[in-house]
Amino acid sequence: MEMKAAVMYGPNDIRVESVEKPACPRDGLILKIMAVGLCGSDIRNLTSDSRKGNYPFIYGHEIVGVVDEVGEEETKYQTGDRLFLFPGTYCMECEECISGHSENCSNKEVASLAGTGGFAQYVAVKGEKIRRGGIYEIPEDVSFEAASLGEPLTSVFACLENVKVEYPDVLVIIGAGPIGCFMAQLAKIRGAQKVIMIDLNDTRLEMAKQFGVDVTVNSSVEDPIEAVKRLTNGKGADKVISATPANATQTQSIHMVKKGGLVVFFGGVPKGSMTELDCNLIHYNNIWIKGHFGASYSQSKRAYQLAISPTFPTEKFITHILPLDKINEGIQLTKSGDAIKVVLHPWDIS
Ligand SMILES: [Zn+2]
Ligand SMILES: [Zn+2]
């Protein structure tokens, strides 16, 4: 049987076409994908040579859908079940998993079960993934679109929890993309006193204001380091998160934080690139620098529950719902800052 999928053939070469529908694993299932979010990392991957010539490939990891087929040995789920697939898969047996940080799982075989292939009408889920966990049911009264926010929210949720953003923090977020907007909203839920959002794009900054941002700074108009100093009585912020794919914002971030403050490198930068840092400033100002990627199972579950809770402003985040064959348009809308979150529908294809 055939299905439609958005297949990547190379950087910026994404074609929606008919491909073979995956076979149902004996101990797994086939999920009919009802919605799939377009992630910042998808955009980075789809527009660069992310697989070093190894194409065709189907990206997409913010996957929600309905069980369409179950293998004869699969007993946990049934046809018709509505599921959210957290793309991380952890063994829960290695030292890192047992320490409570399963996002650092060292079991490579299990990590290779990570969900992808979501820009399609169906995806196969292996039995091993089902047994290892990270699959959550979607209640009947929750929309597929809302549930799909569980994934992008997860990493932000984990980051702010790990670095304990809370009252009375003054938090700087560099990058008003969807992730920056999630960050602002979550920082406010956690009690941050003041959120300062920095970006180059006025459209994005304007949109970010609905998510609890107190002050916006357009860094193409005003020096962002000076602005943060001005807004913090010359001291710098308690915490600064660089949530862009640019090395330059990492360089800037350590100049915006107070003595003894914390800087997080959240956004991935181009592969192999190096960031210049004023290391004496880090040394004399007792600055902490932390990287962030992913989330533990515990955090993914709680972030998912937040995403599907009625109080979470899902509809403000999802600015565009597009058919899968408009994926290229979705990429442009996100890049230009006209969209916050784009969710794709694989079954609305024209
Ligand atoms: Zn994502
Ligand atoms: Zn592990």
Q: What are phi and psi of 306, to 5 degrees?
A: -70, -45
Helical spans, DSSP H, in 176-278: 178-189, 202-208, 224-231, 247-253
134 C-alpha vs ligand 2 centroid, how far in Å? 13
Mean per-residue pLDDT for 169-194?
97
In the structure, what pLDDT confidence band is assigned to residue 84 with cuts at 50, 70 and 90? very high
Dump pLDDT digits (tens) for 255-293: 999 999 999 999 888 888 999 999 999 999 999 999 999
pLDDT of residue 41: 86
40 C-alpha vs ligand 1 centroid, how far in Å? 7
Dump pLDDT digits (tens) for 156-165: 999 999 999 9
187 C-alpha vs ligand 2 centroid, how far in Å? 29
What amino acid occupies position 23?
A
CATH 3.90.180.10 intervals, the chain: 2-152+295-345
- Which residues does 25 contact at the CB level (< 8 Å), separation at least 6? 71, 74, 124, 125, 126, 127
In the structure, what pLDDT confidence band is assigned to residue 29 with cuts at 50, 70 and 90? very high
Q: Which ligand has the shortest distance to the CA of 99? A: 2
100 C-alpha vs ligand 2 centroid, how far in Å? 10
Mean per-residue pLDDT for 67-72?
98
Tokens in use for 221?
A: 């108009």
41 C-alpha vs ligand 1 centroid, how far in Å? 6
Distance CA 133, CA 123 (A): 17
196 C-alpha vs ligand 2 centroid, how far in Å? 36
pLDDT of residue 349: 73
Distance CA 303, CA 51 (A): 29
228 C-alpha vs ligand 2 centroid, how far in Å? 40
152 C-alpha vs ligand 1 centroid, how far in Å? 5
pLDDT of residue 269: 87
Dump pLDDT digits (tens) for 121-149: 999 999 999 999 999 999 999 999 999 99
Nearest by Cα to 8 from 38, 50, 41, 37: 50
Angle, vertex CA 225, rays to CA 218 and CA 202, nearest 5: 5
45 C-alpha vs ligand 1 centroid, how far in Å? 12
**Is the per-residue pLDDT at 89 higher than 80?**
yes
Nearest by Cα to 95 from 83, 84, 105, 109: 105
CATH 3.40.50.720 intervals, the chain: 164-291
62 C-alpha vs ligand 2 centroid, how far in Å? 22
Q: Is-contact 197 216, C-beta < 8 A?
A: yes
- Which residues does 133 contact at the CB level (< 8 Å), separation at least 6? 89, 90, 92, 297
276 C-alpha vs ligand 1 centroid, how far in Å? 27
Of 89-93, 150-154, 266-270, 277-281, the range with the lowest mean pLDDT is: 266-270
258 C-alpha vs ligand 1 centroid, how far in Å? 31
Cα–Cα distances (Å) from 44 to 63, 233, 332, in that order, read 18, 37, 12
Domain 164-291 has CATH 2.30.29.30: no
Q: Which ligand has the shortest distance to the CA of 106? A: 2
Q: Measured over all CA atoms, what is the biggest interatomic distance in the chain, rounded to whole angstroms?
A: 65
pLDDT of residue 150: 95
248 C-alpha vs ligand 2 centroid, how far in Å? 34
105 C-alpha vs ligand 2 centroid, how far in Å? 4
pLDDT of residue 350: 63
Higher pLDDT, 269 or 182: 182
128 C-alpha vs ligand 2 centroid, how far in Å? 14
Q: Which ligand has the shortest distance to the CA of 114? A: 1
Q: Which ligand has the shortest distance to the CA of 182? A: 1
**Is the per-residue pLDDT at 321 higher than 90?**
yes
Q: Which ligand has the shortest distance to the CA of 62? A: 1
Distance CA 153, CA 7 (A): 25
Domain 2-152+295-345 has CATH 2.60.40.740: no
Higher pLDDT, 347 or 267: 347
Mean per-residue pLDDT for 11-28?
96
Q: Is-contact 121 95, C-beta < 8 A?
A: no
